[in-house]
């Protein structure tokens, strides 16, 4: 009998990877293991788990079978050696960073990032004495110019939130690796259905599972997966090679090889920072992933139709959707996202802030809220909400103006979405729809 991971099709793996009928009850749906802790077979087994000599369930802050099923599913879809679940996308990111960085290190990150990530990086990393520079362009020579002797990480989003810019993942991976630097990608907006960064040379992928993976706006969650291919023993990551005082002198790279980073992420960072995913959210996100390919096809179909409509709509000055050939990153989108440039993008209104408020207040089908990647269509004004902590210069670097509107195109009928946008745009004084 083949196991779920023996199948190669993306749709099949979305439904089956990580999950099997429950051997004890026969339950076909993934059981929700709503328990804090697990009874040990005996004292010897308990000691082996705590020594990391055996891999097994002890306490749900560190590991839980329902969360593990989701971790296996996302790792399978991303082509990773494994994954770790977290309470949110930002918990996943901060934990992914903490595991490899130490004071005095330097991070080089794309400027086209989710506002919460910019804030997390700018303030949290600096508080920990980690240096940070943003690169406001996709040109590899600009990234190269930013590399310092202490640079320990490149970071970017496959599709930038909300600018819609596309990262040159293969180019950045090659540049990073030439300097013994790992590349970490936030693949939230693309999902593994549209792009698998590890296949282009990235080393670590992080997700806000809150968005398209869960897909229904019900659960906050985050995930980290790793290729297992980065050489953590290159002499630049002592945390991975030296005896760990937080784990009675364990040398993670020597002991776990390919799994060193993920083991350290789970056994130390998740254990100590504690931002674990709840079993119930893992269940909902894993169930969401069962329909990920179907939803992403409809999201992309609708996003293309809505972007094409907006391009010719009165009062709209620019549409920042990399699926349009007018977008500066269109050729990168064709390379990295051949099935579609996602379903979250921005457009600018000639009437600025007031026009933005009029549009948002008159939309009926689009919900005004701070989320993306829901089956339902969503809209927000980034300058006054998600990105309001950013200075004007940072806003400009992230591609956001006063009249910029971000939409997350859902899976309704495209005709209904266009009709809703059309009636709301026509309410803006001076705009002819």
Ligand X SMILES: Cc1ncc(COP(=O)(O)O)c(C=O)c1O
Cα–Cα distance for residue pair 366/177, rounded to 1 Å: 43
Q: Which is nearer to ligand X, 194 or 250 (CB)?
A: 194
Q: Which is nearer to ligand X, 395 or 414 (CB)?
A: 395
For residue 148, the SS3 value is coil
**Least distance to ligand X, CB of residue 378, Å:** 11
Residues that bind ligand X (CB under 6 A): 88-90, 114, 116-117, 157, 161, 186, 188-189, 208, 210, 220, 222, 372
Q: Which two tokens stand for residue 299?
A: 């999201």
Q: Are strands 344-349 and 367-368 parallel, antiparallel or unpaired?
A: unpaired
Q: Which is nearer to ligand X, 113 or 250 (CB)?
A: 113
Q: Which is nearer to ligand X, 89 or 215 (CB)?
A: 89
Q: Which is nearer to ligand X, 110 or 358 (CB)?
A: 110
Q: Which is nearer to ligand X, 28 or 123 (CB)?
A: 123
379-410 core/surface letters (b: 16 or more CB in 10 A; e: else): bbbbbeebbeebeeebbebbbbbbbbbbbbbb
**Least distance to ligand X, CB of residue 210, Å:** 4
Closest residue by Cα to residue 159 from 311, 412, 346: 346
Distances (CA, A) of 273 to 61, 198, 279, 296, 354: 10, 26, 18, 33, 42
Is the previous residue joined to 207 through a cis bond, with omega within 30 degrees of 0?
no
Place of tokens 């290190």: 105
**Least distance to ligand X, CB of residue 321, Å:** 16
Q: Which is nearer to ligand X, 95 or 358 (CB)?
A: 95
**Least distance to ligand X, CB of residue 162, Å:** 8
Distances (CA, A) of 191 to 34, 157, 296: 27, 11, 9
**Least distance to ligand X, CB of residue 345, Å:** 13
Q: Which is nearer to ligand X, 18 or 89 (CB)?
A: 89
**Least distance to ligand X, CB of residue 207, Å:** 8
Q: What is the largest CA-CA distance in the chain?
A: 76
**Least distance to ligand X, CB of residue 114, Å:** 4
Burial (CB < 10 A; 0-12, 13-18, 19+), residue 308, is middle
Residue 181 makes CB contacts below 8 A (sequence gap 6+) with 108, 147, 151, 152, 153, 154
What residue is closest to ligand X based on CB? Answer: 89
**Least distance to ligand X, CB of residue 285, Å:** 11
């Amino acid at each position: 009998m083949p196991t779920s991971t023996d199948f190669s099709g993306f749709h099949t793996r979305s439904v089956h990877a990580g999950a099997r009928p429950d051997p004890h009850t026969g339950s076909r749906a993934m059981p929700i293991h709503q328990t804090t802790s697990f009874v040990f077979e005996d004292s010897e087994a308990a000691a082996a788990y705590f020594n990391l000599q055996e891999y097994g369930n002890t306490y749900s802050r560190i590991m839980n079978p329902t969360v593990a099923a989701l971790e296996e599913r996302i790792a399978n879809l991303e082509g990773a050696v494994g994954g770790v679940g977290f309470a949110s996308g930002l918990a996943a990111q901060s934990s992914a960073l903490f595991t490899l960085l130490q004071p005095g290190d330097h991070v080089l990150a794309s400027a086209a990032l989710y506002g919460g990530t910019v804030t997390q990086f700018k303030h949290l990393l600096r508080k920990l004495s980690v240096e940070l520079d943003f690169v406001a362009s996709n040109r590899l020579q600009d990234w190269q110019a930013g590399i310092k002797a202490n640079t320990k990480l490149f970071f970017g989003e496959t599709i930038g939130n909300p600018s819609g810019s596309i990262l040159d993942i293969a180019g950045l991976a090659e540049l990073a690796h030439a300097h013994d630097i790992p590349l970490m990608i936030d693949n939230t907006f693309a999902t593994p259905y549209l792009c698998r960064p590890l296949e282009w040379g990235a080393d670590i992928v992080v997700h806000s599972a809150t968005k398209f993976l869960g897909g229904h706006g019900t659960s906050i969650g985050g995930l980290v997966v790793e290729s297992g291919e980065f050489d953590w023993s290159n002499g630049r990551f002592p945390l991975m090679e030296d005896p760990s005082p937080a784990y009675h002198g364990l040398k993670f790279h020597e002991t776990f090889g390919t799994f060193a980073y993920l083991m350290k992420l789970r056994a130390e960072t998740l254990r100590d920072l504690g931002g674990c995913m709840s079993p119930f959210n893992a269940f909902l996100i894993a169930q969401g992933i069962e329909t990920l390919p179907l939803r992403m096809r409809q999201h992309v179909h609708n996003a293309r139709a809505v972007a094409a409509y907006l391009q010719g709509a009165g009062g709209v000055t620019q549409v920042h959707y990399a699926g349009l050939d007018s977008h500066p990153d269109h050729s990168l989108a064709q390379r990295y996202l051949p099935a579609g440039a996602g379903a979250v993008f921005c457009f600018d209104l000639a009437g600025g802030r007031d026009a933005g408020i009029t549009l948002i207040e008159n939309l009926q089908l689009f919900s005004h809220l701070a989320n993306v990647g829901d089956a339902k269509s969503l809209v927000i004004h980034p300058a006054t909400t998600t990105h309001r902590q950013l200075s004007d210069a940072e806003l400009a670097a992230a591609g956001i103006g006063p009249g910029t509107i971000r939409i997350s195109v859902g899976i309704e009928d495209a005709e209904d979405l266009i009709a809703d946008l059309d009636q709301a745009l026509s309410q803006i004084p001076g705009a002819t729809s």
